[in-house]
Amino acid sequence: MNELINKVTKLLNDKTIDAFIGYGQGSTDRVRAIFARTVEQASKLIYTPACTFNLSGYLLKHEVKHLGKLGILANVAALRSIMQLASEFQIKDGEVYILFVNDDASLTEFSDFQSIEAFLEKANIDITPDEKARIEKIEAMSVSERWEFWNKEFEKCIKCYACRAACPMCYCHRCTTDVNQPQWIPVASHERGNLDYHLMRAMHLAGRCINCGECANACPMDIPLNLLTYQLIDPIKTGFGATAGMKADAVYALSTFKPDDKENFII
Amino acid sequence: MQDFEPKIVAFVCNWCTYAGADLTGTSRTKYAANVKIIRFPCTGRIDFMILMKAFENGADGIIVSGCHPNDCHYSTGNFHARRRWIVFRNLMNFTGIDTERILFSWVSAAEGFKWADVVNNTVAKIREMGPYENYNKIAVSTLLKEEVSNHE
């Protein structure tokens, strides 16, 4: 922890960065994101086992972007987010100063995207066995059981859009959800609007989701909405050979094609 | 259920399937009148949201059709559409939307008879399956009715 504070203090002092995004103590026993702009603020940085959430969602937020040159404490999910955002031309190489805490609490500094790509090749990027089991359980249901299951889950949705705000990939200035001419997504949170919203969210994240799980973490109603995008990871990987967030120059799987893409349902 | 007439919406591309459907008509081939054809510039334009809106507004079945691969008027529109359908079909299946009710096909401008077959087969299949009750429960008309009765 001290090593992190010293490092960030040094970076702030010699003006390498203007602000550092890291973890700090929240008002309860939970951790929260802090944006250190001064040495004093940097001294409040912490790194505990509870510091697991993906901070990269803040990188493109208007308020944070305008703090100047940013540094960030990244975990594997955040590194993948940064790679995915780079492939979508949202972050340039060298634009963000990236620190990573190793298992032995030492710090790694990623100077360019190439080193992140090399690191991610060896990192564990799979969804957890628990999440895998939940997806398999849903897949084993019949079609109408699945419909009932998701209808019940979506029924809880209050359309707070916390999942959208928490997602590092949801950075559009005008989301389809906000469009009202035509009103693609009904504003009220009834079954139809909720289904529309969640399917739209899942489709727009298909092939871009880096399985950090922030959407489900953010959900106040405990909807397992991360499973919607997680279960699309495999088909996109096996079908199109694409995994999100691994290469800074990757092409989005759904904005390209191969003439011999395999399907078995078009007559 | 005797007098159930399936409502089928067909989303077709302007250059192949729409012309193919025209050919069906000009060759005096009859096909089921249950289908409402909506013409799009290209299958690449057929967004997944549009398909959902069809179900929401009471469609019992959907046909999506366009040019065969390599025949797209814009060279690549149907290739992009195909990838999107593969992913969207996966998602529909996972969320319990009946993928049996949505048919994807390639019908070229010369395949007037294939179009008649595609429509007739789909209508027969949906007629057997009955109305799409799951989706109808959350359809626009149902929810509107509920809202009205709540106010009364």
Look up residue A132 and give its amino acid.
Answer: K
Instruction: Provide the strand spans (E) within B19-60.
Output: 35-40
Per-residue pLDDT at A252 exceeds 80: yes
φ, ψ at B62 (rounded to 5°): -130, 140
Average pLDDT over residues B1-6: 77
Taking an 8 Å cut-off on Cβ atoms, the answer to whether A261 and B86 are in contact is: yes
Nearest-Cα residue of chain A relative to residue B89: A265
Q: What is the pLDDT of residues A175-199, one digit of tens each?
A: 999 988 888 888 888 888 899 999 9
Q: What is the pLDDT of residues A118-142, one digit of tens each?
A: 999 988 888 899 999 999 999 999 9
B137 touches chain A (CB under 8 A): yes
Would you kindly state where each structural domain of chain B is located, as residue ranges?
8-151
ipTM score assigned to the predicted complex: 0.87
DSSP state letter for A176: G
CA distance A119 to chain B (A): 29
Q: Which residues of A touch B106 (CB under 8 A)?
A: 266-267
Q: What is the pLDDT of residues B84-143, one digit of tens each?
A: 999 999 999 999 999 999 999 999 999 999 999 999 999 999 999 988 888 888 777 766
Cα–Cα distance measured from residue A140 to residue A135, given in angstroms and rounded to the nearest whole number: 9
Cα–Cα distance measured from residue B126 to residue B119, given in angstroms and rounded to the nearest whole number: 11
In the block, which residue shows the tokens 């290469």? A247
Taking an 8 Å cut-off on Cβ atoms, the answer to whether B94 and A257 are in contact is: no
B141 touches chain A (CB under 8 A): no
Q: Give the closest residue to A227 by CA, choosing from A152, A140, A128, A159.
A: A128
> How many CB atoms lie under 10 A from the CB of residue A144?
12
CA distance B5 to chain A (A): 22
Nearest-Cα residue of chain B relative to residue A155: B138
Q: Which of B83, B98, B118 sits opposite A257 (nearest CB)?
A: B83
Would you kindly state where each structural domain of chain A is located, as residue ranges?
2-122, 129-242
Answer CATH for B8-151 from 4.10.1250, 3.40.50, 3.90.105, 3.10.20: 3.40.50
Where residue A84 falls among pLDDT bands split at 50, 70, 90? very high
Q: Which of A199, A255, A259 sits opposite B91 (nearest CB)?
A: A199
